[in-house]
C-alpha cells in the first residue's frame, strides 16, 4: 500500500467543543504518524483557496465563515492544521472522520459522533481531511512549507 500524506484541519466547532485531543487520539490510533502541526491563521484568502473547488456551491460563503471560526468566536481565526503520514493515510483518515454530512456519517466515526447540522443548514463536521492524492498534495502545500514537515 502506498505511503501517503494527508492534511487534517480541526475545524472551529471541533476546537470550540474541545474535541482537538479526541481527533489526535483517533488519528494516532489509526496507526498513522503526525509529521506536521501548527496553529495558524485562516485568512480569507487561504480559506477561499482551500475550498476553491466548492466556490459555486450555495453553502460556500457560509463555509468560508465557518472555517474562519466566525460562528464559534475563534480568536484571530486560528485553526489547528496537521499532516499525517502512513500507509493509505488519505483513506484511513477519511474512514476515521466519517461522511461529510454528519447525519449520514456512521456511528463511531468522529463526524457521526460529534458532527451536527445547524438550523441554518451549516454542516459542522469537526474536521477536514483531504479526499484524494491530488487534493492532499495541493492542500499540504497550501497550509505548510516544506521545512515545517518532518521528512
Ligand atoms: P469533505 O469535507 O468531506 O471533503 P466536501 O464535499 O469537500 O466534503 O465539502 C467541504 C466542506 O463543505 C464539508 O466538510 C462541509 O463542512 C461543507 N459542506 C459540504 N457539503 C455541504 C452541504 O451540502 N451543506 C452545508 N455544508 C456543506
Ligand atoms: Mg473535500
Q: What does the pLDDT read at residue 68?
A: 98
Q: Which ligand is nearest to the CA of 125?
A: 1
d(CA 68, CA 86): 28
DSSP character string of the chain:
--EEEEEEEE-HHHHHTT-HHHHHHHHHHTT-EEEEEEEEE--HHHHHHHTGGGTTSTTHHHHHHHHTTTTTT-GGGEEEEEEEEEETHHHHHHHHH--SSTTTSPTTSHHHHH-EE-TT--EE-SEEE--SHHHHHHHHHHH--GGGS--
State which residues have CB under 5 angstroms from ligand 2, the bound ion: 131
- Write the residue with the smallest CA distance to atom 15 of ligand 1: 123
Q: Give the ligand whose atoms come closest to the C-alpha of residue 57.
A: 1
Pocket of ligand 1, candidates 7, 55, 59, 71: which has the most ligand atoms within 8 Å of its Cβ, to mutate? 59
User: In terms of pTM, does the model score above 0.75?
Assistant: yes
pLDDT in tens, 115-150: 999 999 999 999 999 999 999 999 999 999 999 999
Q: Identify the structural domains of the chain with CATH numbers, from first to last.
A: 3-146 (3.30.70.141)
**For residue range 37-51, what is the model confidence (pLDDT) as tens digits?**
999 999 999 999 999
Q: Is 16 in the active site?
A: no
Q: How far apart are the CA of 151 and the centre of ligand 1, in A?
A: 31
Amino acid at each position: 500500500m502506498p505511503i501517503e500524506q494527508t492534511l487534517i484541519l480541526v475545524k472551529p466547532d471541533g476546537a470550540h467543543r474541545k474535541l482537538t485531543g479526541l481527533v489526535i487520539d483517533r488519528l494516532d490510533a489509526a496507526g498513522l504518524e503526525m509529521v506536521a502541526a501548527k496553529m495558524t491563521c485562516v485568512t480569507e484568502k487561504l480559506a477561499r483557496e482551500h475550498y476553491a473547488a466548492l466556490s459555486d456551491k450555495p453553502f460556500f460563503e457560509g463555509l468560508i465563515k465557518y472555517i474562519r471560526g466566525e460562528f464559534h468566536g475563534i480568536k484571530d481565526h486560528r485553526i489547528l492544521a496537521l499532516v499525517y503520514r502512513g500507509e493509505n493515510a488519505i483513506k484511513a483518515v477519511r474512514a476515521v472522520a466519517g461522511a461529510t454530512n454528519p447525519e449520514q456519517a456512521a456511528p463511531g466515526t468522529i463526524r457521526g459522533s460529534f458532527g451536527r447540522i445547524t438550523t441554518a443548514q451549516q454542516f459542522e463536521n469537526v474536521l477536514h481531511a483531504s479526499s484524494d492524492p491530488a487534493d492532499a498534495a495541493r492542500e499540504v502545500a497550501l497550509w505548510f512549507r516544506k521545512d515545517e514537515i518532518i521528512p
